[in-house]
Amino acid sequence: MAAIEIISTFQSIVGTKNCLTKDSKTAYYRTGFRSGFGGALAVVFPTSLLQYWKVLQACVDNDCAILVQASKTGLTEGSTPSGDDYGRELVIINITKVKKIILLDGGKQVLAFAGSTLYELEQELKKINRAPHSVIGSTTIGATIIGSIANNAGGALCKRGPSYTELSLYGQVDKDGKLNLVDELGIKGLGETPEEIFASLDKGDIKTEDLEAWDKLASDREYQDRIRNLEADVPNRYNADPKRLYGVSGSAGKVAGFAVRVDTYPVPKKKQVFYLGTNDPKHFDTLRTQILTKFKELPEMCEYMNRGIFTTAQKYGKDVFLSIKHLGTTNLPAAYALKSNVEYYLNKVPFLPKFLPDLFLYWVSKLFPQHLPQRLLDYRDKYQYYLILSMADDGIDEARDYLTNEWRKLDGVDFFEASEEEQQAALLHRFAAAGAAIRYQNCHQKTTEHVMALDIAYMPNDPDWIEELPPEITEHLDLVLYYGHFMCLVMHQDYIFKKGTDMKKMKALMLERLDKKKAKYPAEHNVGHMYEAAETLRKHYEKLDPTNTFNPGIGKSDKKRRVMFT
């Protein structure tokens, strides 16, 4: 069918306004959060489960490649097209308008539709004093529940691990090219056909007695045991962990997720953030070992930063910090879309610098007064390494006693108990760090190459998680930034190289060093189009998607359709 007829079919399903075809209108949805860009026939926005199904069916009937996209917060190019060499038309189905959150069993679990976000889940659960299964950095900018599960998004929580469930409803194209609806929700009486199942879910009236499959995991409840095992022969968590590849979980868009069933958790009665500083990272090793092997209560989270990322985020992440603090998170995805559309046009003007909106936001942010509390700045000046240690309930006294009576006895360390303002600032500053490298590079685009961002899961007993790079790498570096989730030793390492550096060579050297340490990468952002999928992951993708219909090319695989023979 001609492209114009395929578009007409989409418009008949979702309406003209929910089917974008002009390059200027689709640019945001075809551009990665940090990098990556490609072409697409259309960006289609279904507004119901049934519309979503019909759009999928139209794509399959017309032999289109399909990229199911949520809030596009992925950092490895996996949620946007990569180039134009798919061998057939590629259609982006953006599911952010397919929203509903249904409380199950009084809120002990929830059923979430494809476009429901983690932020919306947090707000819904606040009403019943419950907390979500997962909290990740991009929660604040619209990350979806199902998108985080599809990518095993890790996040900062120590008591429950990567986003995961074994209870889901998803569309899958089999080896004969037929679209099937796979129902693994564990809910009785939904119906037999897709239409019946969607109608039942739309009603939202799910009785507790109809809930089955309680033996299946609806979150990573086993994580506490894994994170405490310092003698494990693999890292605590990483994307290609075969134990966390199940249906939608870890699928990376190789199936089309419609709904997931996930656990919720009681909200702690009280929390306290401790802010720690040292000039010797070995002191943090001591603390980590003590907490994981001796503490009865694990931290809620424990985030690491060093002086380099603190200062860079202070300068280049200030507008992000202020936007979240003063504008909230509800409107941020729309603001990012507007910025991308403006950027699309401005980047076409040859005499203007690229990414002009980013440069504008950077300079505007300098007009605002200092946004970080003084005690955080004092620690930045005094110490090279910091931890944001968040404890809850009985764990507060446990941490306070240890830090006061044992850890503080070490030479050159200190801590303070953060006030509410300091706690909010420390956590927002840590979030702003995630985009600081990109902003820095945009502001120095004439002298630097694009950012090389690695998220790495180190072995749980690795004593050398602070890396020492050889001269063959450092001579080409302009800036390197380190931050991450300390209890599980998942580190984010952003490298900005000088203009003219052979980036392929540098990345090969980096990954070779990590392989020797038995580290796993990517740890929590999935392979996207930036990493080669491990054999286990590649086989998992091929089993889920034997015809290579969904998200072709991820993990550096072939983008062309796979013809299966029965």
Phi, psi of 132 (to 5 degrees): -75, 165
Q: How far does Cα 414 stand from its chain's mean position?
A: 32
CA distance 3 to 66: 15
Length of the chain counted residue by residue: 566
Grouped pLDDT means (10 residues each) for the chain, 566 residues: 91 98 90 85 98 98 96 84 95 97 96 94 94 76 87 84 94 97 97 97 95 95 93 91 93 97 95 97 96 96 96 94 77 66 75 80 91 97 97 97 96 96 94 89 93 93 93 97 95 96 95 94 88 91 97 95 66
* 253 neighbors 68 (Cβ within 8 angstroms): yes
To the nearest 10°, report the CA torsion of 454, 273, 396, 299. -10
Let me know: does 7 contact 21? Beta carbons within 8 Å.
yes
Query: Residues 262, 379: contact at Cβ < 8 Å?
Result: no
The DSSP string of 112-150 is EETT-BHHHHHHHHHTTTEEES---GGGGGT-BHHHHHH
Identify the CA nearest to 305 among candidates 493, 539, 61.
493
pTM of the full predicted structure? 0.89
Assign 3-class secondary structure to 293-356: HHCCCCCCEEEEEEHHHHHHHHHHCHHHHHHHHHHCCCCHHHHHHHHHHHHHHHCCCCCCCCCH
Which H, E and C letters describe 13-78, residue by residue? Answer: HHCHHHEECCHHHHCHHHECCCCCEECCCEEECCCCHHHHHHHHHHHHHCCCEEEEECCCCCCCCC
Cis peptide bond N-terminal to 353, omega within 30 = no
pLDDT at 471: 96
Residue type, 72: K
Residue 490 is predicted with a pLDDT of: 94
- Predicted local confidence at residue 566, as pLDDT: 42
CA distances 405 to 12, 73, 161, 390, 399, Å, are 69, 42, 30, 18, 10
Rounded Cα distance between 178 and 366, Å, is: 55
pLDDT of residue 324: 81
pLDDT per residue over 219-234, tens digit each?
998 999 999 999 999 9
Tell me if 95 sits within 8 A of 46, measured CB to CB: yes
Q: What does the alpha-carbon distance between residue 106 and residue 462 come to, in Å, rounded to a whole number? A: 43
Residue 390: per-residue pLDDT: 97
Strand pairing class (490-497; 477-485)? antiparallel
Q: Which of 251, 201, 181 is nearest to 554 (CA)?
A: 251
Q: Name the helix (H) or strand (E) containing 203.
A: helix 194-203
**Structure-block tokens of residue 233:** 């022969």
The pLDDT tens digits for 113-128 are 999 998 899 999 999 9
Q: What is the pLDDT of residue 565?
A: 44
**DSSP output for 437-459:** HHHHHHHTTTTBPPPEEEEEE--
Q: Are 392 and 268 in contact (CB under 8 A)?
A: yes
Pair of tokens at residue 512: 């070779």
CB 341 within 8 A of CB 334: no
Write down the residue that tokens 């390494």 correspond to. 385
Contact 56, 550 (CB under 8 A): no
**Cα 194 to Cα 53: distance, rounded to the nearest angstrom:** 8
With both helix axes pointing from N to C terminus, report the angle between 332-346 and 356-365 in degrees, rounded to the nearest 10.
Answer: 120
